[in-house]
Amino acid sequence: MNSLTLNPIARVEGTVHLPGSKSISNRVLLLAALAKGETRITNLLDSDDIRHMLTALKQLGVSYQLSADRTECLVNGLAGFFKSAEPVELFLGNAGTAMRPLTAALAASEVTAHLKGEPRMYERPIGHLVEALQQWQADIDYEKEPGFPPLTIRGQTLPGGVARVNGSISSQFLTALLMIAPMLENDSTIEIVGELVSKPYIDITLALMARFGVSVQNDRYQRFTIRGQQRYQSPGTILVEGDASSASYFLAAAAIRGGTVKVTGIGRHAVQGDIHFADALEKMGADVDWGDDFIQVTRNELHGIDMDFNAIPDAAMTIATTALFAKGPTCIRNVYNWRVKETDRLAAMATELKKVGALVEEGQDYLTITPPAKLQHASIATYDDHRMAMCFSLVALSDTPVTIEDPECTRKTFPNYFTLFQSLSS
């Protein structure tokens, strides 16, 4: 397996034009496929997660044209669910944003589908979604372990109605239900059991559904009401915001070793919750400026913080390595579902932070990080987790190098991350 050693970086400065948001790219692709009319998507992300969605859509009979650099896509909508006389087998890698919404869409389509993925996908729970879909009479079987992919889905017309979904592990289950609900036979009410996690991702879902002409009544994130027998309408052209989670590494780098770094493609009105990573950096002491289409961070003295990060679980990982450069301990709270993402991120973070010399307390749903007086050179295992690789690049912003094992794992969401990161060195 390849590894990459980053030499110490004394200072960062510059501007990064962000690639499109993963969360928005995969939602827009699916909505455009189901909608009436042609949708031109611009600033689409090109990464493994999006390629899996694109390949699946093609297998399901959706036609689209991609530009040569794959950042623009013209999708011819089906004006309804998928249809296929032949069974299909879809490989969705480890893309939660493909697996969960497609499970729901296929359950309501005239298709028999086998949903496969990478080994880690078979350890990521999907039972809460399947149980909710079964309340709408979906016919879904687990091919191996109950509660986990791979799945066999025998799609059929679903009536909709009342469904209760457990929201305590992943918001993607609710996103999946919301996206299909308007196209079902009857009006639907989705009730959340337990406390819903990762709420801002539901705001992304609702905002994009609205762009495709469908409104949802959101009652305090506990109950959602959706009219049935609707059809998504193409908005014509839709621009994908820059990826706010991907922005976190550059903004953190500026907070640690700026100079100033500006990211463009997101700004104060962005729909992604992860833009509030910049507020966390500000709380740690960094200087932050916002524009309509940029966020900019300048270095200042950093101190540890103690914060609930449930709303921004992906960007919160970047706080864990930023904490290595702050005065005093940092506590990242309420991130239990880190354990069911690309790897068990609480365990992985704790193990790797200790390798560079930090003192770490790993709780069931929190991490406390006390930085060492001096960082140690270490070879960082990345667990096939793009965010582990990207977060640990920040260690190089010290007088110690860092070795990242399997840096190519960033291809899940950010294939050219290391090139861009190193281009900021000044």
Ligand X SMILES: O=C(O)C1=C[C@@H](OP(=O)(O)O)[C@@H](O)[C@H](O)C1
The contact set with ligand X (CB under 6 A) reads 23, 96-97, 170-172, 175, 197-198, 201, 313-314, 337
DSSP for 360-374, please give it.
EEE-SS-EEEE--SS
Under rule CB under 6 A, residue 93 binds ligand PEP: no
Q: Is 327 annotated as a binding residue?
A: no
Q: In the stretch 360-399, what mask flags binding to ligand PEP with x, by CB under 6 A?
A: ---------------------------x------------
Name the token pair of 26.
């995969």
Closest CB 53 distance from ligand X, rounded Å: 12
Separation between Cα atoms, residue 413 and residue 96, nearest integer Å? 12
Query: Is the peptide bond between 415 and the residue preceding it cis, with omega within 30 degrees of 0?
Result: no
Asked if residues 277 and 322 have their Cβ atoms less than 8 Å apart, the reply is no
Q: Which does 337 bind (CB under 5 to 8 A by kind): ligand PEP, ligand X, none?
A: ligand X
36 contacts: CB under 8 Å, gap ≥ 6? 77, 79, 231, 232, 233, 234
Q: Is 23 annotated as a binding residue?
A: yes
Q: Is 333 annotated as a binding residue?
A: no
Which range of residues in 91-99, 195-203, 303-311, 362-370 is near ligand PEP by CB under 6 A?
91-99
Asked if residues 63 and 56 have their Cβ atoms less than 8 Å apart, the reply is no
Q: Is 108 exposed, middle or buried (0-12, 13-18, 19+ CB in 10 A)?
A: buried
Adjacency order of strands within the sheet including 306-308? 306-308, 330-333, 367-370, 359-362
Adjacency order of strands within the sheet including 63-66? 63-66, 72-76, 38-42, 237-239
* CA-CA-CA-CA dihedral for 311, 410, 298, 273, to nearest 10: -20
> Does the annotation mark 314 as catalytic?
yes
Distances (CA, A) of 304 to 8, 40, 301, 360: 23, 44, 10, 13
Q: Which does 201 bind (CB under 5 to 8 A by kind): ligand PEP, ligand X, none?
A: ligand X
Q: Residue with the closest Cβ to ligand PEP?
A: 96
Under rule CB under 6 A, residue 175 binds ligand PEP: no
Q: Is 170 annotated as a binding residue?
A: yes
Under rule CB under 6 A, residue 318 binds ligand PEP: no
Of 9 and 204, nearer to ligand PEP (C-beta) is 204
Closest CB 102 distance from ligand X, rounded Å: 13
Under rule CB under 6 A, residue 243 binds ligand PEP: no
> Which residue in the list 243, 274, 314, 406 is annotated as catalytic?
314
Separation between Cα atoms, residue 312 and residue 23, nearest integer Å? 13
Q: Which does 171 bind (CB under 5 to 8 A by kind): ligand PEP, ligand X, none?
A: ligand X
Closest CB 390 distance from ligand PEP, rounded Å: 10
Q: Which residues are catalytic?
A: 314
Please enumerate, by residue number, every residue annotated as part of a binding site for 3-phosphoshikimate. Answer: 22-23, 27, 170-172, 198, 314, 337, 341
Binding site for ligand PEP (CB under 6 A): 94-97, 314, 341, 387, 413
